[in-house]
Every structure is written in C-alpha cells, then in structure tokens.
C-alpha cells in the first residue's frame, strides 16, 4: 500500500514537473495575416513558415490567409479594434492610413537593435520618416502583346513609343470581329486600373504625378497622358465597357484573343498559359513618349510586410520579417511567386519558370520600379477620385485639363486631412 | 360546511419568503427571466453596435484617431452638403421603388400562372422549378451572370442586334444612361421569387367557394381577380412589399460586384457610398452618419410595417 502511495506521489510529481517544464518552454505563436497564400502553390508559404519554425525553435507561425479584398477589410477592422495580427501583409495603397492610425509599427528601432543592413532592402516604405513597410516581392506590369494577332495585322515589332503603340492598336482593332487593340479596366469597385493602366504611362516616361510629396496632376506629363489615353478611345481601339471592366475582365479578354495588348502583372503569366495554352504572347516595357531615352518607370504592385503596433511579440515578428527578407528565403519565395525580390542580393531562380520571366527580369533590371501611389494617404481613395474624373473625361463631360484640375483639387483636400 | 374564508388546511399560509426576495416578487420576475436571454442577445448584437455607430457618427475621426472628440452633428452636416450623397439617396429610392413594384407584379403574375388549372401539371412543376431558380443564387453569382449577359459582347446585345432592336453594342453597366436601369433589372430578376412563393401560398389559401359564388353572380375573370384575389392577397402583398423595401434599400453586394457605384456616380447607392467612406476614405465617422441615415430610412418603413401588422 505504502509502495503504491509512493508510486502515485512520484507519478504525480513527474507529471507536474513535465507540465511545468512544458509551460516554461511554451512556444510563442505569432499571427501572420496576408493574401499571398491563396495566390501561391498549395503549401508553398506554409512550407517556408515550417522552415522558419525549424530555424527558430520556440516560435510558431499561424497563417491567417484570405483573398486580397477580404484581407484588406480584416486588416482595417483589426487596426481599428487593436487586434491586428503580429505580422501584416501590406499593400502600398493601405500603408499610409495604417501608419497614421498607429496600427503598424516603425521598424527602425528593430533594425537598429538587430544591427540590420538596410542597404540590402530594395525599397523601404516610410511614412513620416518612419520605416513601416518592406516590399517583399514585386510584381511588375509590362505590356502583354498577342504575337499572333500582331503578326496577322502587320505589327512586327513591340511598340516602344506611344506613337508605335497607337499604330499597333489601330492595326489590331477590328470592331466587327470583336477584336480591339487595347483594354482599359476602369471599374470603380477596384480603382487599381488608374494606377496600373493609366498613371503607369506617366511613370514609364520618367515623369511624376507628385511634386515635393504633394499632388501635381496638372503638369504637362499627366495631362498629356490623359490626352493620349482619350485619343486611344477616340480612335476606337479600346475594348468597349471600360467603366465596368475589372482587372480579371481585362485578362479574360486577352486570354480569349479579343484584345491585342494589355498592361498587366507578370503574376498572371501562369494563369494566361493555363487558360489558353495555345496563346502566343510576349511582353515589353510600357511605351514612353516619343523621343524619351531615360530609364523607364516600371509600374509594380508589391507584397509588402510590416509589424503590428499592438503586437506583444514584436521581437519574434521582426525575426519572421527579417527571415523572409533574407537573400536566400526572399529569392526562394519570389521564385515560387513569380515576382521580383525585395532583397537586392536575392537571386531568384527563374530556370523552372516560364521563359518570359527571364525576359521580364531583363526589363526590370534595365528600368526602375515606379509606383507613386505607394505610401500615399488614402491611396485607394485618390485612385477612385481620379478614376471618376477620367470617366467624366471619357464621357465627354470635361477635357483632360479639367479632369486633372478636378482630381488635383480632390487630392489636395485628401492630403490636407 | 366550511365558510368561504376558511380553508381546508386551516388558516391561509403567509406568502413564503425565500432568501431576500418574497415569493410574490419572485413570481413577478419569472416572465422577465424568460425574456432575459433574448433581451441580452438583442442588447449585445443589435443595440450595442447601433449605439456604437451612433456614437461614432457624433465624433471626429472615430476609430482612426486615438483622441477622437465629440463634434455633435458636424458629420451629418458634411454629409448633407455632399451632392453625391443626395444623388445616392435619390438613386437608392429609384432602385428600391422600381424593384419593389416589379417584384410584386412579376411575382403575382407567375404565382397566378402556377396556380392556374389550365396549365398541364407537369409543365407547371417544371415552371415552378424554373421560376424559383434566381432565388437559389447568391448575390455574387447573380452579379457574375448579369455582367456576362450584359457585357457589350454578351448574349443580350447579340439577341437585340439580331432582332434589329439596337444597331450598336450597348454598354449596359458602363454607360451613365443605362447602368442604373440595368442594375435595377438584375435586382428585379433576383428578387421576384420571394413574392411568387408567398403569393402562390396565399392564392392556394383562398376558398374556392368565393370564386364559385362570384361566378353564380355573373362575375367575369377580371372581376374575380379584382374583387376576390387582390383583397385576399393584400395583407401578404403589403407585408412582403414593406420588408422588401427595407431589404432592397440596403442591397450592397449586387451593386458592388456589378458597377462599384459607377460609372461616375450613376449607380451610387447609400450602401456603396457608406462602404467607400469607411473602407476607402477611412472616414468612419461620416460612414457612421450615413449608416444612421439608412437606419432612420429603414425604421420609417418599419413603422408602417409594424402598424400594418397590428392592424391585422
């Protein structure tokens, strides 16, 4: 009996000891909200997280994944309620609002404490002088050209200037056969078309929509671009239904051979191949104004990363951010995602990717990344305001100069808030 | 014999007292305890969010500013000074009223058709399945269907052009002249089955004797419809129409997925206007003021609904 009691006591003590040691060595779990996991091959991001967990014992990562728009709404709500995940996937269009709200943390002190080499980061997005976002992977937007359609219509070279683009678009347009030279999505649901398909023409020619950090929409380059796009519409080379068209409609029309050219993300190459394996298409840099020989701005969208200000595990969160930004991991991630790296030392492996990625990488290296909406206050709202004015211009209600002036007024009001 | 004030068990027992509460008080509390869970849930899920939104609407920079201050009705004044807001109010009313009217007319027409004995029962069953289909689709699917159908290169334009009704590709959702009508049409298509099912149930509940008696009196089909069917269905029609008015006024996914409130502001309704204020401009205070405005509009209709229900 005594022995039994002793055994029971010892067992209890052992269980307690085990429990206590387990509690002491309990893992820290950090949450990572992003929209990337559904856009990558199955388990690709989870695999990278598993590698991170193996390299950092004691830290577990819980991925919170969803589509882009749902993630955006979730982040806005999380920021408002102080329940934002520890590590946050960011779009350049949201970053200013979240930083001003105090929802995302400055990473400056974390970098200093870790003695982090900032020169390896391709672009650090700052708001009020504070580093709040690293673009982890960038998706460049070149011009996609349906090569068969181009050849059939006597377009032998990729258009490099606006005049060449107009000529090519005219040649490829046969409205009676539902074939058009270009496609422009300006739906107000997601006003990203203004950034990717309209203002990208400004940046491609080395011009800007900002001056000293303030709106400068009435400059000759912006008004000239609006004029040019309007002239494409007047020439009837844009596929109809512009104001209700979304990005996925644009890609669909290109896939179906209904449009000859589109400005689109490299991320869609695999999608286009899957949807229409026989489509023969190529890519080129966005055409610039005639005579421009400077570096071409390449519009891009990025998967940005930042840390929540309300996180209780900022050190662990920083470990994950720096792990994903390291040359090896960053190179691996962008190779899987078919993007360009956020770390300048990363060497993406495009050997297993579509040959067009290698070609795109050359365009990327010869140009410069340009997206002036990144980091702007209420960037999505700014795009929507400009979108409305461009729509009015297309609808014949105002000229390009009036559209630029009206948008400038709206932007100044937004900047002043 | 026992007198009236005598009981079989002797003198009447005093009300028992259990703990600090008398039996009488406890008895009075019982009904309140029954409704307490519902009241608690109502307060938690309805009242609290509503009061929070109301509070936000009276603050400057709610959610976005840590030191948001009380500004009274300033957000409402800002809202009422925005012409786009009033445009969205007018368009919301047009969208709602047209939807309710056509839901009722189409729902009634199909219900009469499905209730008619002149149609073969097999065909009637088939039509019943066919007519109810729009009700089975989610708003996202409905939006995709109508975006495809009304695309400039879509089926509707092909048919209209083949029939020489139009001689160009109409940009239904992309033109300021047609977008609101096209959107309303899609919503009418999506919503009539509720009326159809309810009115069909109502029609099947009308006693046959009434029609027989009217027939003996020499009433024609139209007179029977006018003086028997409509009055018998009226309570159902009013109830559904009022509910539909409230629901349609708040429609968001269909508008958002088809036009996003555009082109320009041609299909901006209160729900999209409010959403943009909150999630695009991050003006949560003004969005709250707009939401309160929608609430008041809905409540004014709810008043008539409750009044109608009481009258029944």
Residue A401: Cβ within 10 Å count: 14
H helix runs in A295-354, sequence order: 314-325, 327-337
Q: Which residues pair with A134 in a beta bridge?
A: A305
A131 and A124 Cβ atoms separated by less than 8 Å: yes
CA A385-A299-A78 angle, 5° bins: 60
Please, are residues B211 and B228 in contact by the beta-carbon 8 Å criterion?
yes
SS (HEC) of A134-161: EEEEEEECCEEEEHHHHHHCCCCCCCCE
Answer yes or no: are the C-beta atoms of A112 and A223 closer than 8 Å. Answer: no
Contacts of A68 in chain B (CB under 8 A): none
Go through A137-170 and write b for each residue having 16 or more CB atoms within 10 A of its CB, e for each that does not. bbbbbbbbbbeebbeebebeebbbebeebbbbbb
How many C-beta neighbours within 10 Å does residue A189 have? 19
Q: What are phi and psi of B205, to 5 degrees?
A: -90, -5
Residues of chain A positioned with their CB less than 8 A from the CB of B179: 243-244
Q: A303 in helix, strand or coil?
A: strand
Closest chain B C-alpha to A380 CA, distance in angstroms: 6
- Residue B12, pLDDT score: 55
How far A166 CA sits from the closest chain B CA (Å)?
23
Whole-number CA gyration radius for chain B: 28
End-to-end CA distance of chain B: 51
SS3 A174: strand
Residues of chain A neighbouring B66 (CB-CB closer than 8 A): 102
| CA atoms of A142 and A281, how far apart (whole Å) | 12
**B268 with B87: CB under 8 angstroms?**
yes
| Cβ pair A188:B259 closer than 8 A | yes
The sign one gets for the Cα dihedral A394, A396, A399, A404 is negative
CB pairs under 8 A between A and B: 84
Q: Which residues of A touch B258 (CB under 8 A)?
A: 244
CA distance A333 to A29: 22
Distances (CA, A) of A337 to A44, A274, A275: 9, 16, 18
Tell me, what's the pLDDT at A38? 86
pLDDT value of position A3: 55
Residues of chain A scoring pLDDT < 70: 1-26
Which residues in chain B are closer than 8 Å to A80, comparing Cβ atoms? 63-64, 284
User: Three-state DSSP class for A396?
Assistant: coil
B263 — contact with chain A (CB < 8 Å)? Answer: yes
| CB-based contact, B276 to chain A, within 8 Å | yes
Residue ranges, chain B, pLDDT below 70? 1-19, 312
Q: Report CA-CA distances (Å) from B303 to A340, B76, B92, B235, B298.
A: 59, 23, 19, 16, 9
Looking at residue A312, the DSSP 8-state letter turns out to be S
- The span from the CA of B283 to the CA of B286, in Å, is 6
pTM for this prediction: 0.83
> Contact, A17 vs A48, CB < 8 A?
no
Of A72, A100, A391, the CB nearest to B262: A391
| Total Cβ atoms within 10 A of residue B81 | 9
- How far does the CA of residue B124 sit from the closest CA of chain A (Å)? 38
H-run or E-run covering A284: strand A281-284
CB distance from B116 to chain A under 8 Å?
A: no
Q: Which of B139, B167, B254, B262 to mutate to probe the A interface, most A CBs <10 Å? A: B262
B173 Cβ under 8 Å from any chain A Cβ: yes
Out of A80, A178, A188, closest to residue B262 by CB: A188
Work out whether the CA dihedral B118, B121, B123, B129 comes out positive or negative.
positive
What is the secondary structure of chain B as a DSSP string? ---TT--TTSSPPPPPEETTEEHHHHHHHHHHHHHHHHHHHHIIIIIHHHHHHHHHHTEESTTT-TT-EE-TTHHHHHHHT-HHHHHHHHHHHHHHHHHHHHHHHHHHHHHHHHH-TTS-HHHHHHHHHHHHHHHHS-HHHHHHHHHHHTSTTSHHHHHHHHTTS-SS---TTTSTTTHHHHHHHHHHHHHHHHHHHHHHHHHHTS-HHHHHHHHHTT--HHHHIIIIIHHHHHHHHHHHHHHHHHHHHT--HHHHHHTTT-STTTT--HHHHHHHHHHTS--HHHHHHHHHHHHHHHHHHHHHHHHHHHH-
């Amino acid at each position: 009996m005594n022995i039994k009691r002793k055994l029971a006591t010892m067992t209890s003590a052992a269980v307690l000891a085990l429990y206590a040691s387990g509690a002491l060595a309990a893992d820290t779990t950090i949450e990572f909200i992003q929209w990337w996991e559904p856009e990558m091959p199955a388990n690709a991001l989870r695999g990278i997280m598993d590698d991170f967990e193996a390299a950092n014992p004691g830290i577990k990562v819980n991925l919170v994944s969803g589509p882009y728009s749902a993630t955006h709404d979730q982040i806005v709500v999380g920021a408002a309620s102080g329940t934002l995940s520890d590590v946050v996937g960011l779009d350049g269009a949201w970053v200013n609002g979240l930083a001003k709200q105090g929802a995302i943390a400055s990473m400056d002190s974390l970098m200093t404490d870790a003695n982090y080499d900032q020169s390896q980061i391709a672009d650090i997005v700052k708001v009020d002088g504070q580093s709040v976002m690293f673009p982890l992977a960038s998706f460049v937007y070149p011009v996609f050209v349906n090569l068969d359609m181009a050849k059939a219509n006597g377009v032998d070279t990729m258009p490099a200037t606006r005049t060449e683009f107009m000529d090519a678009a005219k040649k490829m347009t046969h409205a009676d056969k539902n074939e058009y030279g270009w496609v422009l999505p300006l739906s107000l649901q997601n006003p990203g078309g203004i950034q990717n398909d309209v203002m990208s023409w400004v940046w491609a020619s080395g011009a800007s929509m900002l001056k000293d950090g303030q709106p400068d929409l009435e400059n000759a380059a912006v008004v000239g671009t609006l004029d040019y796009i309007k002239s494409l519409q007047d020439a009837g080379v844009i596929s109809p239904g512009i104001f209700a068209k979304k990005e996925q409609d644009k890609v669909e029309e290109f896939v179906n051979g209904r449009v000859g050219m589109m400005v689109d993300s490299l991320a869609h190459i695999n999608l286009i191949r899957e949807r229409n394996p026989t489509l023969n298409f190529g890519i080129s840099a966005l055409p610039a104004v005639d005579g421009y020989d400077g570096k071409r701005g390449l519009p891009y969208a990025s998967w940005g990363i930042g840390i929540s200000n309300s996180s209780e595990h900022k050190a662990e969160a920083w470990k994950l951010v720096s792990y994903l930004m390291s040359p090896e991991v960053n190179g691996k991630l962008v190779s899987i995602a078919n993007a360009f790296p956020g770390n300048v030392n990363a060497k993406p492996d495009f050997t297993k990717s579509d040959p067009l990625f290698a070609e795109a990488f050359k365009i990327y290296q010869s140009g410069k990344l340009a997206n002036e909406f990144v980091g702007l206050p209420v960037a999505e709202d700014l795009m929507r305001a400009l979108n409305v004015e461009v729509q009015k211009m297309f609808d014949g209600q105002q000229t390009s100069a009036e559209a630029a002036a009206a948008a400038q007024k709206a932007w100044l009001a937004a900047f002043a808030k | 014999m026992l007198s009236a004030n005598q009981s079989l068990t002797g003198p009447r027992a005093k009300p028992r007292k259990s703990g600090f509460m008398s039996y009488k008080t406890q008895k009075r509390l019982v009904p309140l305890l029954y409704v307490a869970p519902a009241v608690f849930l109502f307060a938690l899920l309805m009242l609290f969010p509503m009061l929070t939104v109301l509070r936000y609407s009276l603050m400057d920079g709610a959610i976005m500013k840590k030191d948001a201050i009380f500004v009274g009705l300033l957000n409402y004044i800002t809202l009422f000074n925005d012409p786009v807001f009033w445009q969205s109010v007018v368009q919301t009313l047009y969208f709602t009223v047209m939807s309710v009217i056509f839901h009722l007319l189409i729902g009634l027409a199909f219900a009469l058709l499905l209730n008619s004995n002149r149609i073969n029962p097999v065909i009637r069953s088939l039509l019943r399945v066919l007519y109810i289909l729009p009700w089975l689709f989610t708003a996202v699917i409905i939006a995709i269907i109508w975006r495809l159908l009304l695309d400039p290169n879509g089926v509707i334009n092909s048919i209209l052009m083949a029939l020489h009704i139009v001689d160009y590709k109409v940009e239904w959702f992309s033109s300021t002249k047609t977008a609101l009508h096209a959107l309303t049409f899609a919503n009418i298509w999506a919503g009539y089955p509720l009326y159809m099912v309810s009115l069909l149930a109502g029609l099947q509940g009308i006693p046959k004797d009434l029609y027989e008696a009217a027939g003996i009196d020499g009433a024609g089909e139209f007179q029977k419809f006018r003086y028997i069917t409509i009055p018998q269905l009226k309570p159902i029609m009013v109830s559904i129409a009022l509910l539909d008015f409230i629901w349609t006024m708040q429609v968001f996914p269909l508008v958002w997925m088809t036009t996003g409130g555009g082109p320009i502001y041609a299909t901006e309704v209160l729900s999209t206007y409010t959403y943009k204020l909150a999630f695009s401009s991050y003006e949560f205070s003004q969005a709250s003021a707009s939401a309160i405005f929608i609430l008041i509009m809905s409540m004014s209709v709810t008043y008539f609904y409750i009044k109608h229900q009481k009258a029944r």
